[in-house]
Amino acid sequence: MPKPEASELTKSTTSINPSLPVALSDATMKCLEEGKQLRSSPFLKKIQRRLLELEIELQASRGEEPEGAVGAMPHTSHDLAHEVRILKEHCNCLSPIGRLPLEVLTKDLCTAHIKRNRRLDDDEEAPNNPIDPCLPRLESVRFAMSSPLWSDISYLTPRVMELAFSRSGTAPLEIVFIPGKHRFTDVHRKALSQTGRLLSVDIEARSKHALREYVSCFSRSAPILEELSLKSGTDLGRWTLPDGLLKGGTPSLKYLSLIRTGIPWSKIPVSSQLTHLTLNEWDMITLGGETEAVLAFLKQTPLLRYLSLSSSLPYDALCYEPSDSSLIVTLPALQEMRLHELSSTLMEFLPFLRIPATTKIKLAFADDSEAFGVIDVEAIGMVLGTLKRIQRGSGAAGSRMVTKFHFSGWFLDEDDDDFEGEEVLYASFWFGEDLDPGLELTIARDESVNVDGLLATFRKKLDFSSLHSFTLSNTWAPSSSKFAVSGGAWRIVFGSLPLLRTVELNRSWPTAFILATHPSSVAEKLGVGSGFPALTTIVWEEIDWCKVVEEGDDGELAGCPLQACGSGGFYGGSAGATG
């Protein structure tokens, strides 16, 4: 029997109208039914044999019966072409890429995706990856099953998705859905309804109404669910939960992320195995006053390593007494904590926590001068004092001494999630020998913020006795903006620091620093003439020296002439210039 050309099969499927329901022939139905009992490779061969038979029938139906062919079946060309399409969809599902083990395929796709997106050097050739052409259709949306059959909903048709799901048996399911990438189909509903099989769920919806529709498919219990991520659109307010949403429990849950869902703390699924928790709401009062619910939730997460909360803390913490030991929450495994809240909210809630001294902390103070009044520098100082108390009792001696301090003014673009299009102050503190900052602060900046007052608060609440490096910069701010620190602030904040070796000023007004360190009567009056005995290096970047000279500075720093560097800055030092 001659093998039909591939072009014939292609032509057979070009004129199909998928909206017309066509019954499959008995031979094709038998092929599919018997194939379901076989392994993938024999099933694929069976389908290929049936395709050859259909090609002969197609030729016969057009009056092109080849020599040796007998008994063409009484089907129209349209019916036969429909059968060809159905069988070819099965072939796609059973192809080698569909039969790769899930972990191998995922690794290959991730590697190809990384290579595809990283910028190649001029002398580096683009990687040759056979899966690379598929990547535009394999972006982030997937429907994966831990079984010999793997499918991706952004790559395959709904019919093949249905086939893949029907062949997955009872294998665990991983589901990712992002609006705009693919429409929500019956396959999603069927998979979500089998909640007992769910291993990972990542769903994004355009609104809370759509999100409710998606998760209403859940049954009550998800015994093996390890990752749950839900994200809705920008509509505000609480979410009306479907009745019985995961009420049966999620005992295996390790990763939980809820973005703008409006789910109250008392309704959030919890597990003693939880290690990562992210909650992000857009308005401050969506979740309401639920201090007891928050504390009760956190008490059930002793293994929590990562905690990120944005506009999610209760505003009624002041009604409770932190001295009540029954309310204290200890998180012994916490490695990183990120909080984006009002300074007053942080000040009231943090006393209820006990965390390791080694926990990396990132605080974003969300105070808005128009909505909530001026930024409360005193409250920020109280928050820093609270952190010292709740982090006591662990860590090596000296581990809470600040060794490096970066203080910057940032102008954030419109893509920033927390401070859209705003100018902010950013402070980073390194403790001990840590390579990364142990404490980072982001503060909404307005005209009411007193930079000198903030620096004085930092010096008062943190241990600067081991400080050896300080950077002051105005990064990504408008060119006309000046980030000035007065001579008095230099005296208060940085006076009597015996280990301070390096100071870097980036787009920061240098006059006050020069006066504070210059051996003159001004310095003597400020009392900082001997405040920097270990200072060896000063780095200047993007300084308008013409304006500095106009103010009367004679171009010398502590007896050392300023030396120009290639980037337009200056390096100087009492122990010799560096560059």
Q: What percent of the chain has pLDDT over 70?
A: 56
Which one has a higher pLDDT value, 232 or 394? 232
How far from the centroid of its chain's Cα atoms is residue 80's Cα? 50
pLDDT at 554: 46
Cβ atoms of residues 506 and 538 within 8 Å: no
- What's the chain's Rg over C-alpha atoms? 33
**38-47, 138-147, 485-494, 517-526: lowest mean pLDDT where?**
138-147
Cα–Cα dist 355/333, whole Å: 8
Cα–Cα dist 470/183, whole Å: 52
**220-229, 278-287, 513-522: lowest mean pLDDT where?**
513-522
pLDDT per position as a tens digit, 121-160: 334 444 443 333 333 333 333 343 333 333 333 445 667 6
Tally of CB atoms within 10 A around 153:
25
pLDDT at 224: 92
pLDDT per position as a tens digit, 196-216: 888 999 888 888 788 888 888
At 228, is the secondary structure helix, strand, or coil? strand
Cβ atoms of residues 439 and 405 within 8 Å: no
233 token code pair? 């659109």
Q: Residue 204: how many CA atoms within 13 Å on its side-chain side?
A: 12
pLDDT classification of 459: cutoffs 50, 70, 90: confident
pLDDT per position as a tens digit, 22-36: 577 888 888 877 777
Nearest to 421 by CA among 409, 429, 432, 413: 413
Nearest to 518 by CA among 535, 539, 543, 540: 535
pLDDT at 288: 60
What is the chain's percent helix, strand, coil content, to nearest 5? Answer: 35, 20, 45
4 token code pair? 């039909």
E strands, 285-386, are 306-310, 329-330, 336-341, 353-354, 360-365
Cα–Cα dist 84/91, whole Å: 10
> What's the whole-number mean pLDDT along residues 472-477?
65
pLDDT per position as a tens digit, 306-361: 999 988 888 776 667 777 888 899 999 999 999 988 888 888 889 999 999 889 99
pLDDT classification of 276: cutoffs 50, 70, 90: very high
Query: Cβ contacts of residue 159 below 8 Å, gap of 6+?
Result: 86, 89
Cβ atoms of residues 362 and 336 within 8 Å: yes
Cα–Cα dist 248/243, whole Å: 12
Q: Is 554 exposed, middle or buried (0-12, 13-18, 19+ CB in 10 A)?
A: exposed
Which one has a higher pLDDT value, 19 or 185? 185
Residue with tokens 């006795």: 465
pLDDT at 333: 94
DSSP collapsed to 3 states, 235-289: CCCCCCCCCCCCCCECCCCCEEEEECCCCCHHHCCCCCCCCEEEEECCCCCCCCC
**81-95, 413-427, 520-534: lowest mean pLDDT where?**
520-534
First to last CA, the chain: 81
Cβ atoms of residues 177 and 210 within 8 Å: no
> What's the whole-number mean pLDDT along residues 75-89?
72
> What's the whole-number mean pLDDT along residues 287-312?
88
Cα–Cα dist 360/440, whole Å: 8
Q: What percent of the chain has pLDDT over 90?
A: 11
Cα–Cα dist 485/503, whole Å: 13
Distances (CA, A) of 403 to 123, 330, 436, 466: 41, 28, 11, 5
Cα–Cα dist 470/468, whole Å: 7
Residues in the chain: 579
pLDDT at 150: 36
Q: Is 71 exposed, middle or buried (0-12, 13-18, 19+ CB in 10 A)?
A: exposed
Nearest to 349 by CA among 408, 409, 287, 400: 287
What predicted TM-score, i.e. pTM, was given to this entire model?
Answer: 0.67
Q: Where are the domains of the chain?
A: 6-94
Residue with tokens 């120009």: 564
Which one has a higher pLDDT value, 47 or 201? 201
